[in-house]
Amino acid sequence: MHPSLKHYLYVSDTKVDMYYAQIPQPLLAGIASELTLDLKVLGSGVSTTLKKEQTQETRYSKLQVVVKYLEEYMSSDIGWIDAPLAYFKGTLPMFWGKLPTRDNNKMVFFAAATEQTLLALGGSAYHATRPIGDATIGETSSELPSLVSLLAEELQLQPRPPDREDFYDEDAALNAIEVMTRQMKGTAQHLEFLAKRLAYDPSSLTHGRIRARAKHVLFGTPIYVALAE
């Protein structure tokens, strides 16, 4: 049975290539066969000698293999928005746009909320496969730099300074997510995603906080984001 066609907005080639390279060969062969994919083509990687169409085909085929591996062989590590594990997935209306930084072209964010959780996903704008959405955060939170620092280090855009243990404050980053998700403006789209968890506060009072959070706050970085069927 062939997988359904997806309209991808974002695919993290960095994560896909990293995870793909770690799949044991026997499992890789079995998954490729099940998906009717040519393992020789996938194994060749994204070569500059390939035509653009072939490169894109390889990109999305490798993503299919990685997602199937994670969902079948690492399912115990995948949660959902209201109960995230090392990875989490979901489908819901989301806003997305450029993350306000000194260079607006480097990072993008996706934001949404359930009845229990405020969610933000962040990633490198390089991996966007379509024109970036029109969402804006509004007034910038004073804690946004901590969120940007956390994401920049994860994406290897900005290394942690050797003498700065306080390079970012996770609680401040989660505070920024609270603000940005509540101030979000723009066009919401019904999206699905699979993401890696970066930070999560499931409780109402943490880190000696005086003010209780109204909702759980979750921050991750996507492996992929696509229009929901």
Model-wide pTM > 0.85? no
217 belongs to a structural domain = yes
151 belongs to a structural domain = yes
In the chain, % of residues over pLDDT 90? 42
- Section 120-144 average pLDDT: 83
User: Which DSSP symbol is given to 92?
Assistant: E
Judge if 44 and 34 occupy the same domain.
Answer: yes
In the chain, % of residues over pLDDT 70? 76
Judge if 130 and 98 occupy the same domain.
Answer: yes
Judge if 144 and 223 occupy the same domain.
Answer: yes
Judge if 17 and 125 occupy the same domain.
Answer: no
Q: Kindly give, in sequence order, each residue whose CB lies less than 8 Å from that of residue 18, ignoring residues fewer than 6 positions away.
A: none
Judge if 134 and 111 occupy the same domain.
Answer: yes
Judge if 170 and 68 occupy the same domain.
Answer: no
Is-contact 93 188, C-beta < 8 A? yes
Judge if 59 and 84 occupy the same domain.
Answer: no
The predicted pLDDT at position 158 comes to 66
Pick from 12-16, 158-162, 177-181: least confident: 158-162
The predicted pLDDT at position 193 comes to 98
124 belongs to a structural domain = yes
User: Which DSSP symbol is given to 4?
Assistant: P
Judge if 181 and 86 occupy the same domain.
Answer: yes
* pLDDT tens readout for residues 32-56: 888 887 776 676 444 434 444 447 7
Judge if 218 and 160 occupy the same domain.
Answer: yes
What is the number of helices (H) and of strands (E) in the chain? 6, 7
The predicted pLDDT at position 12 comes to 94
The predicted pLDDT at position 105 comes to 59
- Section 101-129 average pLDDT: 86
| Domain range for 221 | 79-227
1 belongs to a structural domain = no
138 belongs to a structural domain = yes
Residue 55: enclosing H or E segment and its boundaries? Answer: helix 52-73
The predicted pLDDT at position 223 comes to 97
Question: What does the alpha-carbon distance between residue 186 and residue 135 come to, in Å, rounded to a whole number?
Answer: 4
Tokens of 116: 């229990």
* pLDDT tens readout for residues 182-213: 888 899 999 999 999 998 988 655 555 556 67
87 belongs to a structural domain = yes
Choosing from 52, 77, 102, the residue where a domain stops is: 77
Judge if 73 and 182 occupy the same domain.
Answer: no
Total tally of structural domains belonging to the chain: 2
Choosing from 29, 48, 77, the residue where a domain stops is: 77
Residue predicted with more confidence, 56 or 30: 30
* pLDDT tens readout for residues 66-110: 999 999 999 999 999 999 999 999 999 999 998 876 655 588 999
3-class secondary-structure state, position 21:
helix
The predicted pLDDT at position 127 comes to 92
Judge if 115 and 43 occupy the same domain.
Answer: no
Judge if 14 and 90 occupy the same domain.
Answer: no
2 belongs to a structural domain = no
Is-contact 66 19, C-beta < 8 A? yes
Please, what is the average pLDDT of the chain?
82
15 belongs to a structural domain = yes
